[in-house]
Structure 1
Amino acid sequence: MRVIGGTYSKRPLKTLSSQLTRPTSDKVKESLFNSLGQYFDGGIALDLYGGSGALAIESVSRGMDKAVVVDKAYQAVKIIKENVAMTKEEAKFEVLKMPDTAALKKLATDGYQFDYVFLDPPYAKQQIATIMSELVKLNLLADSATIIAETDKDTEVVAEEDNYRLIKEKKYGQTMVRIFQYERVSQ
């Protein structure tokens, strides 16, 4: 695995050699970022199931100001920190070792609002619709935020919130990537 584009392009990324994570392949990652517009003009990204931190690092490499990477597994967090150190721009990253819902509560308390959210949980534990609902309830999304949900091809993702609009979906072998746009509802 490597960083595909941007400032850190071609730098290798470490991954866990276990069943704890399922890294996004370089092919899927490249296609995903191409469909997002390749490069960003600032903003903050959240990678809620970090694994190796590849999606967060790719985001910052392509122009995001900052990325928050979350994983609950000690081994994953260790790899994420090593990969972040490779960028030599550690200040652009925040790495949290905690479960997804606890991280969301902490990030809400800290006042975060994200422009891009990557949801790529281990296939056996997919609760993406619930997490998408929590992102809205906790006011963690900037106006017009983009949520990228990666699942296996057989998993349906139904965004329960009216605030989400599916703007693109694409199948890559056994992987399905869905991109949602969030629109804040006026009170």
Structure 2
Amino acid sequence: MRVISGAFRGMRLNAVSGNQTRPTADKVKESMFNMIGPYFDGGHALDLYAGTGALGIEAVSRGMRDAVLVDRQYAAIKTIKANVTLTKHPESFTILKMPVAKAIDHFAAAEQSFDLILMDPPYAQQHVIAQLAAFVTAHLLVPGGRVLVETGLDIVYPEIIPGYTKLRRQTYGVAQVLILERNEEDHD
């Protein structure tokens, strides 16, 4: 597992010990970022279910100003901290140990919004549709901001997801990637 492109290109990342996390394969990660970027000119990223922190680190490597990395597991947080240290730019990252629902409430209370939200939830515990709705309600995504979601193939997305425009859906073996853009007209 490594950083694919940008300032940290080639940097090898640590994996979380045990089998509680499922890191995104490098090929899938490269394809995902090519679909949404592939490079950024600043902005704030949020990596939910961060695991190793690889998606948030990749976003910063490719030009995001900073990233918040959220995970609820101690082993994941320990790995994220080690991987952020490897970047030699810890100031570009905020690491939060909390469940995603609590993180959404935290950002809503702080009136904090993001340009890019990355989600790679455990395939067995996916609440993606409800969380996408919560992002809209909490104003977590700026108008025109994007959400990149990796899930198992068992998730069937509705034709219309309120507050978003579907940009792309791609399958990779047992995974699917959905890219959404926050509708500007729906943002109040």
Which category of TM-score, normalised to the shorter sequence, fits these structures?
over 0.9
Once the two structures are superposed, the pairs formed by residues 32-43 of structure 1 within 5 Å of their partners are 32-43=32-43
Deviation at 1:186, TM superposition (A): 5.2
Q: Does 1:50 align with 2:50?
A: yes
Relative distance call for 1:158 and 1:119 in structure 2 (3 A) is farther
- Please list the CA deviations of residues 95-127 of structure 1 after superposition, one character each: whole Å capped at 9, or x if unmatched: 000000101111222221111111110001000
Residue in 1 that maps onto 2:109: 109
Q: How many residues align?
A: 187
Once the two structures are superposed, the pairs formed by residues 168-179 of structure 1 within 5 Å of their partners are 168-179=168-179
* Structure 2: runs of 5+ lacking an equivalent: none
Residue in 2 that maps onto 1:96: 96
3-state SS of 2:68 partner: strand
Quote the Cα distance in structure 2 between the aligned partners of 1:101 and 1:160.
Answer: 23
Q: Does 1:137 align with 2:137?
A: yes
Once the two structures are superposed, the pairs formed by residues 115-126 of structure 1 within 5 Å of their partners are 115-126=115-126
Residue in 1 that maps onto 2:84: 84
TM-score if structure 1 supplies the norm length? 0.96
3-state SS of 2:151 partner: strand
- Please list the CA deviations of residues 117-153 of structure 1 after superposition, one character each: whole Å capped at 9, or x if unmatched: 1111000100001111111111111111101110112
Kindly provide the amino acid, as one letter, of the partner of residue 74 in structure 1.
Answer: Y
C-alpha RMSD of matched pairs (Å): 1.3
Asked if the contact 1:129/1:159 (under 8 Å) is kept, the reply is no
Greater than 3 Å deviation, 4+ residue runs: 158-161
Deviation at 1:49, TM superposition (A): 0.5
Relative distance call for 1:21 and 1:87 in structure 2 (3 A) is same
Identity %: 43
Asked if the contact 1:47/1:53 (under 8 Å) is kept, the reply is yes
3-state SS of 1:64 partner: coil
Residue in 1 that maps onto 2:166: 166
Quote the Cα distance in structure 2 between the aligned partners of 1:167 and 1:161.
Answer: 12
Asked if the contact 1:104/1:135 (under 8 Å) is kept, the reply is yes
3-state SS of 2:37 partner: coil
TM-score if structure 2 supplies the norm length? 0.95
3-state SS of 1:47 partner: strand
